[in-house]
Structure 1
Amino acid sequence: MTTLLLLGSINMFLSVMLGAFGAHALKKKLSADMLAIFQTGVQYQIAHALGLLLAGILAGGLLTSGLVVTAGWFLFAGIILFSGSLYALSLSGVKKLGAITPLGGLCFLIGWAILTVAIIQG
């Protein structure tokens, strides 16, 4: 599906940009712990942006199940909630934002589980 491919490519772009931003601009401004939190957000965004690209490719012809698209939307929600909350936490220092992160992780798990079911169903 074109939307998933677009979201995947945009998120890959953003994760590379944010990774460079963290490595260069934030290195001297954040504590080592906060920088590590920021980098974790980048790593998960990259991994799941690749997942969005995979879902988009599968939905475009290899698997026509609506489950693939649903899985992609869960991966996208996971990026927003998981990586987004880690970015906000590391930049603001507001620890309560960390409560959102597990919801994003749950979205990742649901997305991968749904994609697994779609692949098994073929």
Structure 2
Amino acid sequence: MKNSTFIQLAGILGGLAVGIGAFGAHGLQPLLEATGRSETFETAVKYHFYHTLAILILGIWHGFQPERKWLKASIWSFFIGILIFSGSLYILSLSGITWLGAITPFGGVAFIIGWIFIVFAAKS
């Protein structure tokens, strides 16, 4: 894949993070406060944003050094982490389905693996 694809992915994920965060802060605030899940929702949005910015930076780096194969692995790991970690927390916050908390750590592991892949990319 080209680095522009990764930059576009970051743009989409960033836009979603802003939209979801704003909707949570305004449209869902009464529900989140009533269920005591405001902090959980905010955590999901923060990690969504952090890793979207990482994907953007890695996409730019990939444009300069496409031979560093670990960059792609890191980007995809962060993407999977956003889907599982933030996604499960979003759903948990809105639905109260508590068993989703059991899969959230898998997203966290994907984030950690993505950061480790950056180490490998820098060494290759």
TM over 0.5: yes
Q: How does 1:1-122 map to 2 (within 5 A)?
A: 1-30=3-32, 31=34, 33-62=36-65, 64-121=67-124
Cα distance in 2 for residues equivalent to 1:38 and 1:3 = 28
Cα offset, 1:117, TM superposition: 1.4
CA contact (8 A) 1:8 1:50 kept: yes
Moved >6 Å (runs of 4+): none
Identity %: 42
Tell me how many residue pairs correspond in the alignment: 121
| Residue ranges of structure 2 left out of the alignment (5+ in a row) | none
* Partner secondary structure for residue 29 of structure 2: coil
Query: Could you give the per-residue CA deviations for residues 44-70 of structure 1, whole angstroms, max 9, x where no partner exists?
Result: 000000011011011111452111011
CA contact (8 A) 1:63 1:118 kept: no
Provide the TM-score with structure 2 as the length reference. 0.92
Provide the TM-score with structure 1 as the length reference. 0.94
Q: Match for 1:2: what amino acid? A: S
CA contact (8 A) 1:58 1:64 kept: no
